[in-house]
Amino acid sequence: MSLFLRGIFDSARKERRACFLPYICVGFPTYALSLRMAMAALDAGSDALELGIPFSDPVADGPTLQRATHRSLLQGTKVIDAFRLIRSLRRAGYHQPILAMTYLNPVERMGWSTFTKALRDAGGDGMIVPDLPTDEMRAPAALLRRHGLALIPFLSPVSPASRVRMAESLKAPFLYYVSVTGVTGARKGIASGLLARLRVLRRSLKTPVVVGFGISGPRQARSIGREAGGVIIASAIIDLVERAPAGRLPVVVGRFCRTVVQALRME
């Protein structure tokens, strides 16, 4: 599965485009709607999916994602619901890679081995754990690799060269670049110096870089996609979900994802 995840970047590069990985929060606004929105995002041509597992202390999340995860938790969403949703997507015939975005506490509580096997058995492809330091990733990354899964390291605007080398040494399918020194949330403009920094990383790294945090829509995605292997959009999707009628949510999410997918084509 990790090899399959790596393959989406190879395919995108040949097609002169960047990958799109939208974020869907499990159980927001309901479990059924989160499943339908995930389907709509994948039907729209998204290359992979970041599936957020709600947690009570999401230290990397801004107000938008905090509202979504809090609302999901109030409805009783559990970690196992993420595995259930992944299984439902696989049974429905969706083959794009799916990454579970979770914080460290739920993984530690379940146990790395148990969590990894459950994710593998559900049909997941890997994990994104924002509060797991890069220095502590080697052992869990090796565990996930043994099960065919990937653990995605983070980089940020303040990552020194030594941390960049450490992240790439983990041999993940991609590196998650946090575009701002702050929490998640859609922003009006691209962070100062981001594109220049991405050019440097693109020249120096063999591993694709995917940019998240602060990307609000197709225009920003297109500019960033010219310098990166892909983009992740989360808060802007949650903003759409909060504003749209429940009956229209899959349509609204699908339409948004389609515009981003089209914007990331470089021809």
Q: Please list the active-site residues.
A: 50, 61
For the sheet with 209-212, list strands across it.
150-152, 126-128, 98-101, 49-52, 19-25, 230-233, 209-212, 175-178, 154-155
Omega within 30 of 0 (cis) for the link into 29: yes
Q: How is 170-187 classified by DSSP, letter by letter?
A: T--S-EEEESSSS-----
